[in-house]
Chains A and B, each alone.
Chain A
Amino acid sequence: MQNSDVITHDVIVVGAGLAGTWAAMTAAENGVKDVAVLSKIHPLRSHSGAAQGGIAAVLNNVRPVAGTGPRGPLEQIPPGDDPVDSFDLHMFDTIKGSDWLGDQDAIEIMVKDAPDVVIQYEHMGCVFSRTKDGRINQRRFGGHSAPRANFSADRTGHVLLHTIHEQALFHNVKFYSEWYVMDLIIEDNITRGVVAINVLTGDIKMLRAKAVMFGTGGYGQAFKVTSNAYANTGDGVALAYNAGAPLMDMEFVQFHPTGLYRHGFLMTEACRGEGGYLINKLGERFMKKYAPDKMELAPRDLVSRSEQIEINEGRGVMEDGQGIYLDMRHLGREKIMSRLPEVRDLAIAFAHVDPIEDPVPIQPTAHYSMGGIPTTVDGEVLANANGDLITGFYAAGEVSCVSVHGANRLGTNSLLEASVFGRRAGRAIAEFVKGGAKLHPVPGDPAEKNRKMVQQLFDNDGTELVEDIVQDLKTTMTNKVGIFRDEEGLKSALDDIHNLQERFKNIRVMDKSKRFNTNLSMTLEASHLLTFSELIAAGALNRQESRGAHSRTDFPKRDDESWLKHTMAHKDEDGRPKFSYKGVTIYWDRFPPQERKY
Chain B
Amino acid sequence: MSNNDIQRTVTVRIQRFNPDVDKKPHMQDYQVKMWPGMTILDALHEIKTHQDGSVTYRRSCRHGICGSCAMHINGRNTLACKTPIINEVQKNDTVTIGPLPYLPVIKDMVVDRTSFWEQYLRVKPWLLPPDDIPEKEFRMSQEEVDALHDAEACIMCGACYSSCAVIGLNKKYLGPHALLKAFLRVLDPRDTAPAERLEIVSQADGVARCHTIFNCIDACPKGLNPTQAIETLRKLAQKRQQYEEARRERQKHLNEPIPS
User: Which residues of chain A have a CB within 8 Å of any CB of chain B?
Assistant: 41-42, 44-47, 49-50, 59, 79, 119, 122-125, 127-137, 152-153, 155, 158-159, 162-163, 166-167, 169-170, 200, 229-231, 262-263, 265-266, 341-342, 345-346, 349-350, 465-467, 509-511, 513-519, 522
Complex contact B155–A134 (CB within 8 A): no
Whether A50 pairs with B260 at a CB distance below 8 angstroms is no
The answer on a CB contact under 8 Å between A125 and B63 is no
Task: Please list 28 pairs of residues, one from A and one from B, whose beta carbons are closer than 8 Å in the complex, sorted by A's number.
Answer: A41-B66, A47-B66, A49-B65, A123-B133, A127-B145, A127-B152, A127-B188, A128-B137, A131-B142, A132-B142, A133-B139, A134-B141, A159-B152, A166-B126, A229-B60, A229-B62, A230-B60, A263-B37, A263-B63, A342-B153, A345-B64, A465-B49, A513-B20, A516-B56, A518-B56, A519-B48, A519-B53, A519-B56
- Asked if residues A50 and B56 are in contact (CB atoms below 8 Å), the reply is no
Q: Which residues of chain B in 131-170 are interfacial with respect to chain A, using CB atoms and an 8 Å cutoff?
A: 133, 135-142, 145, 148, 150, 152-153, 155-156
Given contacts A127-B145, A230-B61, A231-B60, 18 further A-B contacts (CB under 8 A): A41-B60, A122-B137, A124-B129, A125-B129, A129-B145, A135-B139, A152-B152, A158-B153, A170-B126, A229-B60, A342-B153, A465-B49, A509-B53, A513-B20, A514-B20, A515-B18, A517-B56, A519-B48
B67 at the interface (CB under 8 A from A): yes
Quick check: B60 and A467 within 8 Å, CB to CB? no
Give the one of B48, B127, B148, B260 with max A CB within 10 A. B127
Given contacts A135-B137, A350-B37, contact A516 B107 (CB under 8 A): yes
* Shortest beta-carbon distance from A460 to chain B in Å: 13
What residue in chain A is nearest B48 (Cβ atoms)?
A519
Cβ B257 vs Cβ A134 within 8 A: yes
The smallest C-beta distance from B165 to any residue of chain A, in angstroms, reads 25
In the bound complex, CA of A319 to CA of B110 (Å): 38
Q: Chain B contacts of A135 at CB under 8 A?
A: 136-137, 139, 257
> In whole angstroms, how far apart are the Cα atoms of A155 and B145 in the complex?
14
Seen from chain B, the residues whose Cβ lies within 8 Å of a Cβ on chain A are 18-21, 37, 48-50, 52-54, 56-68, 82, 106-107, 110, 121, 125-127, 129, 133, 135-142, 145, 148, 150, 152-153, 155-156, 184-185, 188, 190-191, 257-258, 260
Residues of B within 8 A of A132 (CB): 142, 258, 260
Task: Say which residue of B126, B184, B191 sits within 8 Å of A167 (CB atoms).
Answer: B126
CB-CB under 8 A from A123, the residues of chain B are 129, 133, 137-138, 190
Q: Could you tell me if B126 and A125 are in contact, using CB atoms closer than 8 angstroms?
A: yes
* Inter-subunit contact A122/B142 (CB<8 Å): no
Given contacts A49-B66, A467-B50, are A158 and B56 in contact (CB under 8 A)?
no
Q: Which residues does chain A contribute within 8 Å of B106, judged by CB atoms?
A: 200, 515-516
CA distance A515 to B16 in the complex (A): 13
Smallest CB gap from A266: residue in B: B63
Measured in the bound complex, the distance between the Cα atoms of B48 and A179 in whole Å is 21
Bound Cα distance from A517 to B126, whole angstroms: 33
Do A134 and B258 contact each other (CB < 8 Å), given the known contacts A44-B156, A513-B20?
yes
Cα of A47 to Cα of B19 in the assembled complex, Å: 31
Q: How far is the CB of A159 from chain B (nearest CB, A)?
A: 5
Tell me which of B20, B126, B188 contacts A515 (CB under 8 A): B20
Interface centre among B57, B106, B145 (most CB of A within 10 A): B145
Q: Is the CB of A45 within 8 A of B68?
A: yes
Q: CA–CA, A27 to B218, complex, Å?
A: 42
Q: How far is the CA of A166 from the CA of B127 in the complex (A)?
A: 8
A345 to B58 CA separation, bound complex (whole angstroms): 22
A130–B145 contact, CB under 8 A? yes
- On whether A229 and B66 interact (CB within 8 A), knowing A119-B136, A200-B106, the answer reads yes
B19 and chain A: residue at smallest CB distance: A515
**Could you tell me the distance between the alpha carbons of A123 and B152 in the complex, rounded to whole angstroms?**
16
Give chain B residues whose Cβ lies under 8 Å from the Cβ of A350. Answer: 37, 63, 82
Known contacts A47-B60, A134-B257; A125/B65 CB under 8 A: no
Task: For A166, give the chain B residue with the smallest CB separation.
Answer: B126
Q: Which residues of A contact B139 (CB under 8 A)?
A: 133-135
Contact A119 B137 (CB under 8 A): yes
- Closest 4 A/B residue pairs (Cβ): A125-B127, A510-B53, A134-B139, A467-B49
CB-CB under 8 A from A155, the residues of chain B are 65, 152-153
Partner of A79, one of B19, B58, B82, B257: B257
Known interface pairs A132-B260, A134-B140, A134-B141; A229-B54 also in contact (CB < 8 Å): no
CB-CB under 8 A from B50, the residues of chain A are 465, 467
Complex CA distance for A129 and B110, rounded to whole angstroms: 35
A132 CA to B61 CA in the complex, in Å? Answer: 34
User: What residues on A are CB-neighbors of B57 within 8 Å?
Assistant: 518
Residues of B within 8 A of A137 (CB): 142
Docked pose: A512 CA to B76 CA in angstroms: 31
The answer for the CA separation of A59 and B19 in the assembled complex, in Å, is: 55
CA distance A585 to B251 in the complex (A): 46
Inter-chain contact A263/B62, CB cutoff 8 Å: yes
Cβ contact within 8 Å between B63 and A265:
yes
User: Could you tell me if A50 and B121 are in contact, using CB atoms closer than 8 angstroms?
Assistant: no
User: A122 near B68 (CB under 8 angstroms)?
Assistant: no
Find the residue from A163, A230, A266, A345 having the highest chain B CB count within 10 A.
A230
Contact A169 B125 (CB under 8 A): yes
